[in-house]
Amino acid sequence: MAANRLLAPVWFVLFVLTGTGCVSIPGEPDPNDPWEPFNRSMYDFNDGIDKDIIAPVADLYLKLPDGGRTAIHNFLVNLGYPTTIINQFLQGKFERGLEDTMRFIFNTTFGLLGFIDIAGPTGLARNQEDFGQTFAVWGIPQGNFLTLPILGPQTVRSAVGWPLDFVTKPLFWIETPGEFAALVGVNIVDTRARLAPAIKLRDETAFDPYIFTREAYLQQRQNLIYDGNPPVRDLEDLDLLQEDRLLEEQKREGKIQ
Amino acid sequence: MQFATRALLRTVAAGLIGLGAVLSSTAQNADAIATVDQLHGALLDIMQNARTLGYAGRRDRIAPVVRESFDLPFIARFALGRYWSELDFEERETFVNVFSRWTVAHYAARFNGYSGEKFEVVSVEPSRRERELVRTVLDVPNESAADVTLDYLLHETDGKWRIINVIANGVSDLSLKRADYGAVMKTQGFKNLVERLEGQVLELADGG
């Protein structure tokens, strides 16, 4: 049964891929996103499912009282926390790994299966680690940007890590299929509800929502990999800008053609 | 003796230069923080008085602060990337103008209510090329919503420290705009980008 749970998403992905026929768009591919035509068709597919099914349910979920939603969210985060703990250790962050282990134990017991985040009020930050981040810390390159059905934006690296993330969550090992399916469903809805403000911002301001999602996702991943302190990438871009400003001034002054 | 005096003088001079550097860098820090504080103060003001002010009131109140605390011409230029050099003088003026109004409209529309949020400056650190990075947190009291980290990158222009980028939870606003505007410029061109920005300014006013 465990094998089926892992293979089901794979079959689903293959099913969708054959269905959409991987359209190719003429023109030069963006070197930063060589699979853009494929990614865009997956993006549209996901967006359709989101608008038709997931977003309406998430809207209902957001109508629940704050306290109830927080408890459900806490429970789900706790249920996935072993993945974070394992990856803290794999990344050599032993202190954080121990803190997270304590958090998991306290929340599961005194926090009534995680519905209450006991450590929350102490100000101890909740961490989010996964195998994709661990691969990054180990120096494995991220590979191309990739959009997968349902799973959404990924990099090759994070997509390879995903099955490992899944099997290290207690959620994966829940035996009753009904309970398993229900929890996966609630997990998707809770994630969507959490993302609602960002998606709203995107829908209101982005001219090309696919590009906006891609850039935001890649930066957000970078932020997670560096635990909130990424090297500020656009400083380099800004420096480039200064250089081309200089170039322009020189042109104006007739120093170069 | 003469040698000792010279060494002493040299040490004192080095010390003074060092002190000067420290003092001027603290002054820079303080000026950068002052700009961010000024923006945050104005945002809290329109949030707390959102209802009575209405969209137009919020826009009019935040406009001078946004125009002063951001280096909007710089941001507009950066957001267009390599396409900027293809524009003539008039087009550049048009773009900076619509982009500035869009930024003001965006703040007026989004900061439209108050439920106890607080802005806190966490730290300030010098960044490359004499820029300053002011790290702040938007503390959201509602427990089902997470706090937001807001990092501001500032540089000095015309004797004033101005914001050139906002990085929210690690996502750079400037990079997003650059990628998004670049996509429009590539496929639809400058006129279309300006029209779409104008369209959003109107939509933001309607929605607020």
Tens of pLDDT along A116-134?
888 777 767 788 999 999 9
User: How large is the average pLDDT for residues A233-244?
Assistant: 53
- The predicted model gives B109-130 an average pLDDT of 86
pLDDT at residue A205 is higher than 80 = yes
pLDDT band at A257 (very low <50, low <70, confident <90, very high): very low
Q: Which residue has the higher pLDDT, B127 or A107?
A: A107
What's the pLDDT score for residue A21?
Answer: 45
pLDDT level of residue B162 (50, 70, 90 thresholds): very high
**According to the model, what pLDDT value does residue A240 have?**
54
Burial class (CB in 10 A: 0-12, 13-18, 19+), A48: exposed
Phi-psi region of A117 (alpha: psi -120 to 50; beta: other; left: phi over 0): beta
Q: Which of B131, B167, B163, B133 is nearest to B149 (CA)?
A: B167
DSSP symbol at A126: P
What kind and span of H or E run contains B144? none
Are A233 and B175 a contacting pair at CB < 8 A?
Answer: yes
Decide if B205 touches A, using CB distance below 8 A: no
Closest CA to A75 of A46, A112, A127: A112
B136 touches chain A (CB under 8 A): no
Residues in A closer than 8 angstroms to B82, CB to CB, are 244
pLDDT above 90 as % of chain B = 52
Nearest chain B CA: its distance from A6 CA (Å): 31
pLDDT at B151 > cutoff 60? yes
Residue B99: pLDDT over 70:
yes
- In this structure, are residues A38 and A22 in contact, taking their beta carbons and an 8 Å threshold? yes
- Give me the pLDDT at residue A126, please: 84
Instruction: Give the residue-averaged pLDDT of A156-185.
Output: 91
B206, burial (CB in 10 Å: exposed 0-12, middle 13-18, buried 19+):
exposed
Q: Three-state SS for B166?
A: strand
Cβ neighbourhood burial of A146 (10 Å; 0-12, 13-18, 19+): buried
pLDDT for the residue A198: 87
Write down the pLDDT at residue A137. 94
Picking from A233, A231, A256, A235, the residue whose alpha carbon sits closest to that of residue A246 is: A256
Is A23 a residue whose pLDDT tops 70?
no
State the number of CA atoms in the 13 A half-sphere of A27 facing the CB: 9
Chain A residue with Cα closest to B175:
A234
Q: How confident is the model at residue B140 (pLDDT cuts 50, 70, 90)?
A: confident
The predicted pLDDT at position B20 comes to 60
User: What pLDDT score was predicted for residue A88?
Assistant: 95
Count residue pairs from A and B with Cβ separation < 8 A.
Answer: 90
Burial pattern A124-137, b for ≥16 Cβ within 10 A else e, equals: eebbebbbbbbbbb
- Nearest C-alpha of chain A: how many angstroms from B175? 7
Cβ contact A66–B143 (<8 Å) = yes
Check residues B12 and A32 and name the one with the higher pLDDT: A32
DSSP string, B80-143: HGGGGGGS-HHHHHHHHHHHHHHHHHHHHHH----SS-EEEEEEEEEETTTEEEEEEEEE---T
The pLDDT of residue B93 is above 90: yes
* Nearest residue to A228 via CA among A143, A141, A125: A125
What average pLDDT score do residues B37-51 get?
A: 93
Query: Region A148-160: what's the mean pLDDT?
Result: 93
Residues 6+ apart with CB under 8 A from B195: none
Strand partners, B125: B133
Contact of A220 with B170, CB cutoff 8 Å: yes
Strand, helix or coil at A187? helix
User: How would residue A86 be classed by pLDDT, with cut points 50, 70 and 90?
Assistant: very high
- Of A210-224, B10-24, B108-122, which range is least confident? B10-24
pLDDT at A27 over 70: no
pLDDT, mean of residues A135-139: 94
Quick one: pLDDT at residue A22?
46
